[in-house]
Amino acid sequence: MRRICYRFPQRVDLSFAMGMPFNETLRYIADMDGQESTKTTTNTSKQELVRVKTKVEIALDRATFGEITDDVLRAGVITEAVDLKCSVLALALRGGGKVPIANDVFFLRLTDQVSRTDIDIAKEGSGEGLDALDMKNILLGTAK
């Protein structure tokens, strides 16, 4: 069964192929839900510590996204295609607390191509922050 959402943008920012089968790719991306990492960035000649949190949601019906459950990830439950919504929140860790510096939302469409999975990435809205190439690097585990 396909789990796609009508809210998925008509124009995608980036398309690429992941060298894993569909169910494996879906589980891999679902495991990114709730993941946190910390990195150091240089901002206006000053280094600061940034915590990056990711949240991954799956198309529940054709109009909304929700939490990914283990039932959905079982082999054969989702076939052909699935839409995911991935939010990436960046928080600067400064003196007395955490300051949000970016909250980027991406739509991902995974399409089954037997031995590989095609992934289309579309960023919701425009503006500064991460772009589709950054999201691809996060998915491939090569983000800097």
Rounded to 5, what percent of the chain is helix, strand, coil? 15, 50, 35
CB 85 within 8 A of CB 73: no
Domain ranges for the chain: 14-140
Which tops the pLDDT comparison, 79 or 16? 16
pLDDT tens digits, one per residue of 27-79: 999 999 999 988 887 766 678 888 889 999 999 888 899 999 888 888 778 88
Whole-structure pTM value: 0.85
What is the gyration radius of the CA atoms in the chain, in angstroms?
16
